[in-house]
A = this chain, B = another copy of it.
Amino acid sequence: MSTASIDRQTIEAMVRNALRQSASPAPRTRSGNPPGWVNGKPNLRVSISARHVHLTDEHVEILFGPGAKLEPEKDLYQDGFYAAKQTVMVVGPRRRMLPSVRVLGPTRPASQVELAFTDSISLGIDAPVRHSGKIDGTPGCVLVGPVGSVQLHQGVIRAARHVHLNDADAEFYGVQNGDMMQLKIVSHECTTIFDDVLVRQDSAAKLEVHIDTDEGNACHLDAASEVQLLKISSGCACKH
């Protein structure tokens, strides 16, 4: 398993978005499309978030040099967010490391490392499942860039499943910010239902579920024949 191949996979996974039509009820007519809607209805996208790093402005300058800024390389589906050209090395205890982890922009008030469970095992870090930004008491690590390094005292998490959606999406599904939903991925021989999908509502968001690489691999998302996002109280995804 070469360093080069790991990094390419990371980048490939980062930009891979499994776009599928939702198995949604009949479309409603609306005047104008909310963000992400297609033909008058939500357009469910399920994306795999590969391991990545968020940085503060200060840490960007320490890692990449005085005056350095994140440089967008590829836009993410959510408007205003991007995969940066920059990568960092993430070093865990016992000097295990991931050599090249992509930085996502824009910068944030706190730096944060989001790993799949597989990544955290290989790093030797017991990363807890947390929602983005909820990093109190989480483990730290060392980030190494071409110019300098940063000791994070906390911020290494396994990002919990969540769905970004806007107000029209929320109304469509009958959910609100903070609710939990269910995601069903129908795949040959490995259909999987993910509970605990947190609703993150924002008026500018486009409907998109984020799962990590372990979850995407467990259900073979790339080969999925159908994806369904379900309000939990509206019945289960199991068709019983």
- A interface residues with partner B (beta carbon < 8 Å): 1-2, 5-6, 9, 96-98, 116-118, 121-122, 124, 129-131, 160-161, 182, 187-196, 212-215, 217-220, 232-233, 235-238, 240
Contact = CB atoms under 8 A, between A and B. Distances in A.
Contact of A6 (B122, B193, B218, B238): B122
Contacts of A124: 5
A53 B152 CA distance: 40
Given A189-B196, A196-B190, A240-B233, A213 B118 contact: yes
- Copies held by the complex: 2
A192 B194 contact: yes
Contacts of A118: 118, 213-214, 217
Contacts of A232: 238, 240
A212 to B, nearest CB: 8
B98 A182 contact: no
B218 A122 contact: no
Nearest to A96: B5
A128 to B, nearest CB: 9
A122 B192 contact: no
Contacts of A220: 117, 129
A235 B85 CA distance: 49
Contact of A195 (B2, B129, B131, B191): B191
A214 B119 CA distance: 11
